[in-house]
Amino acid sequence: MANNFFKFKQFTIHQERCAMKVGTDGVLIAAWANFDNARTILDVGCGTGLISIIAAQRNPYARITGVDIDSDAVEQAAQNAYDTEWRERIEIINSDFCLFDNVRYDVIVSNPPYFTEQIKSPDKSRSIARSCDTLDYKRLIEKSAEILNESGRLSIILPYNYYEEVIEHGINNKLYPERVAKVYPLPDSNVKRVMVELSRDQKDTVYEDIVIEKSRHNYSDEYIKLTKDFYLKM
């Protein structure tokens, strides 16, 4: 059973009311996404509020909005955000991202759902959080294309088998790959995740590889560099 809280260097995430707990994916995308010069940041499917809070830590000027359809998660994320020094710049709302209108953001970031199996978890809230029934990659990209500012960016983390489909759908919506990072659990393992940054600029894509561990519990230099400002033991 996951702990009811996860302590970081500058904040603590309580998670007993959230379907999806703190995990490597959320920390990775929050640490990797480009928040430079952003004044408005939207965290889609904010869950515990982890990404919203890290965004506030990394960018001292931006206003961050976290949105989730799960009311329990929203209440807990709002409390997590309130307990930080960045509380005045973080708003957590209970809403359907697909209904957003008349708003614009400099950065949209998401650790989105990715399970599409017909058999879902017996825990309804966990099933909703992890399945594509409520928000799939295509809808995330389509809606982001509608509400991103002209120079805006969408950053997401996803299983590698979705990579080509996401790139294709981004291009179809005039959002082009600006940065791509393949994520490997170990040096000799297959790529497990990929992080993609999409923008309206058509320019050469910057590619990188990130290995999480050199061996079990022995973190790589690039992973430590990326996450050392957040994890307690880095």
Kindly report, residue by residue over 85-112, the tens digit of the pLDDT: 999 999 999 999 999 988 999 999 999 8
24-227 CATH fold: Rossmann fold (3.40.50)
pLDDT for 126 equals 43
Q: Any idea where the domains of the chain sit in the sequence?
A: 24-227
Backbone angles phi, psi at 118, to 5 degrees: -70, -35
Q: What tokens does 129 get?
A: 């959080």
CB 63 within 8 A of CB 40: yes
How far apart CA 203 and CA 117 sit, in angstroms, is 36
pTM: 0.90
Kindly report, residue by residue over 199-230, the tens digit of the pLDDT: 999 999 999 999 999 998 899 999 999 999 99
Kindly report, residue by residue over 1-54, the tens digit of the pLDDT: 457 999 999 999 999 989 888 999 999 999 999 999 999 999 999 999 999 999
What's the DSSP call for residue 115? B
